[in-house]
Structure 1
Amino acid sequence: MLTMGEVHTGLLQNSGPLSLDRTVKLLDVMVGQRVRRSERPIAYAVSPDQFTGVDCRLPSASGRVSRGVGTVVSHAAMTGGHVLQGSSYTRVDRAAANRRLVWSHYLSRPGQIEAIGKVDARDMAAGFLTAGYQPQTLNLGSISNRVMDTVQNSSGLDRRSPFRTQRTRLRWVVLPAPEPSAEARGTFRVEANGLRTIELVAGQDDGHAIVELCEDLALHDWLLTTLLSLIEFSLTGPGTRTQKIHRLRPAIDCLLHLWMPAARLDESVLPVWQDLERRPGFTRQWQTSVNRIRDQVTLSTIALLEEAPVA
């Protein structure tokens, strides 16, 4: 009926990037399960999935009261040794029985919530994407936040991040397309207070590919948002050109090499990224910002050469 999730993205609280081996140790949170890792096109690791049992109200834009019982999947992911993500998601289906069953029933269906009572998928999607979390209502954001905080509080980190930045939150939902063979399409929105939303319509029920798409989108939205913030802070603040370039150094050291949209995604979800590249033009805006930084570095270098004494 409906799949929904939330991804939180932020900078790892460490003065330098972690090697892939150190990242794997940091994300090794469950005995007997391996951390998934890859080195190309960039260092990337994902912790084993964890499952959280829930028994709560389901989101609703209209205020409809319905109950959901089941489990939520969550994990942490690290990109380039710098960027940390906490991701949680679940699939909501109508319950076969109009009553709560024993927990063993729900534990046998990991990553699935059964809706008890009358529910409408679009009403639930609208409530999840646009409404604030209400008491006793399914809160995927708190689970994603907890996953990130668990990693950030690790004793293996020095908690001295190279620059200050804010976390972003991406809430996403997937509604079934009328035709099973239809390509995935999405509508992306930038909301207030670091919130982004994307409503997807997909014909194929490929949950893993959708989750990776949303995590990749959240990563690159955070990179772009953070880069734009650093540029504004660095270039509009007081100081000499050299001082302004010095404030841009964290962007050069930590961010510029991480931009690789859709590099690990399944082909079935690539149309969503292609839409985002047409409008609002993620890579176009990123490249314009990178060129601006490089122009400022070039001008600063020229000015230093002109000021240098002639031997």
Structure 2
Amino acid sequence: MAAPGQSTRPVLVCGEVRTSLLPSFQALDGRAAAQLLRLRADEHVRVSERPNLYVLSPEVLTGVDCRLPTANGARVRAVGTVAARAALTEGRVLQATAYFSAPATGPDLRRPWGQYLVRPGLVEPFGKLPEQAIAQGVLRGAGRGELDLGMIAEGLLAQLLRHPLLDHKAPFKSRRTHLRWTARRAPAGEGPALTRFTLAEDGLRTMELRLPEDVPAAAAASLCEDLALHDWLLTTVVHLLDNSRLGAADGPSAVLALRPAVDHLLHLWMPRAHVDRSLGHLWDELEQEPGFTRQWRSLVQRIRDQLAVQTIPLLHQALSTR
């Protein structure tokens, strides 16, 4: 058996965030959003109205007994619970996250389920945990018979999308994105660090972190949700611009194509609004490269310039018909 106490200190946290447009013609207000995200009757939904409307569900647990993803093909069985939660920003952007923590070593024999349930979100390996192989395996994606965080997050999204509050009349078309992330323990005396962020095909993003032992897994999840939200905003506005046929479409068509960005998205850009203070500075690295806010400001200015250019002829036409 692992030494007492040793097996419960996480050295690795892994998660996946799915981000999508809420399929509702009207954005949900705080009360409706809280109703949507009431996943458990015994815990309250968190509602924050400053600096923007942000609603966070209580966590729900999924019991697992399966192999963990590994990059080297090693077969590592683990037992425990995966935590999942949902968030809604400004009643418009819906996110579902699934994540777990894992200790350096686990027991040689399976414990009774009750002992796993008292450590929510903790998955214990049998024996020693190959941290790097599992971190890389999670980022690569689960294989058959392996723990699939994306499937758990997607299942939570599917549950929410069946809610009768939703009319499934989204104001514009958009694509989902998914962010896979890992956080390994930082060396003693070092602070949090974002070591790698990548954009892959089909809406996949990956992020690797180094975090001190005292940073809760939920705080890491909040950081990754914030990054996933703003990456989705960038991706969606870029697609709206690409589909607007600027320079080729006539004035009214271009204005109509860009209107969803103005009505529903431009006011949502608030990095770090709901990130733990100890991790907020990691956004500075993303601002340096790839330069999230710099790209966002460029897109916003481009939209405003195009709307101004397209509106001037329409004003002249309206005045000339009087």
Q: Which moved more, 1:94-103 or 1:20-29?
A: 94-103
For 2:7, the equivalent position in structure 1 comes to none
Report if aligned partners of 2:251, 2:311 keep a CA contact under 8 Å in 1: no
| Pairing 1:134–2:143 present | yes
Q: Which residue type is aligned with residue 166 of structure 1?
A: R
Give the unaligned 5+ runs of structure 2: 1-10
For 1:169, the equivalent position in structure 2 comes to 178
Report if aligned partners of 2:254, 2:310 keep a CA contact under 8 Å in 1: no
Partner Cα separation in structure 2 for residue 289 and residue 95 of structure 1: 47
**Per-residue CA distance 1:155-183 (angstroms, 9 max, x = gap):** 11110000111110001100111124423
Give the TM-score of the pair, scaled to structure 2: 0.93
Other structure's SS at 2:280 match = helix
| Pairing 1:147–2:156 present | yes
Report if aligned partners of 1:186, 1:272 keep a CA contact under 8 Å in 2: no
For 2:191, the equivalent position in structure 1 comes to 182
For 1:56, the equivalent position in structure 2 comes to 66
For 1:301, the equivalent position in structure 2 comes to 311
1:235 to 234, 245, 267: 245
Report if aligned partners of 2:184, 2:210 keep a CA contact under 8 Å in 1: yes
Report if aligned partners of 1:184, 1:271 keep a CA contact under 8 Å in 2: no
Describe the shift of the 1:107–1:237 C-alpha distance in structure 2 as closer, same or farther (beyond 3 A). Answer: farther
Q: Which residue type is aligned with residue 308 of structure 2?
A: T
1:218 to 204, 220, 228: 228
Q: Which residue type is aligned with residue 280 of structure 2?
A: L
For 1:10, the equivalent position in structure 2 comes to 20
Q: Which residue type is aligned with residue 56 of structure 1?
A: C
The count of aligned residue pairs is: 310
For 2:103, the equivalent position in structure 1 comes to 93
Q: Which residue type is aligned with residue 213 of structure 1?
A: L
Report if aligned partners of 1:67, 1:117 keep a CA contact under 8 Å in 2: no
Q: Which residue type is aligned with residue 149 of structure 2?
A: L
Displacement, 1:118?
4.0
Partner Cα separation in structure 2 for residue 160 and residue 97 of structure 1: 50
| Pairing 1:115–2:125 present | yes
Other structure's SS at 1:268 match = coil
Displacement, 1:237?
8.7
Partner Cα separation in structure 1 for residue 283 and residue 48 of structure 2: 21
Partner Cα separation in structure 2 for residue 19 and residue 291 of structure 1: 28
Displacement, 1:95?
4.2
| Percent of pairs with identical residues | 43
**Per-residue CA distance 1:78-134 (angstroms, 9 max, x = gap):** 00000000011110114442122211121121110001144311111111102x321
Q: Which moved more, 1:260-269 or 1:217-226?
A: 260-269
Partner Cα separation in structure 2 for residue 237 and residue 11 of structure 1: 27
Give the unaligned 5+ runs of structure 1: none
| Pairing 1:291–2:301 present | yes
Displacement, 1:151?
1.1
| Pairing 1:249–2:259 present | yes
- CA RMSD in angstroms comes to 1.5
For 2:214, the equivalent position in structure 1 comes to 205
Partner Cα separation in structure 2 for residue 12 and residue 310 of structure 1: 41
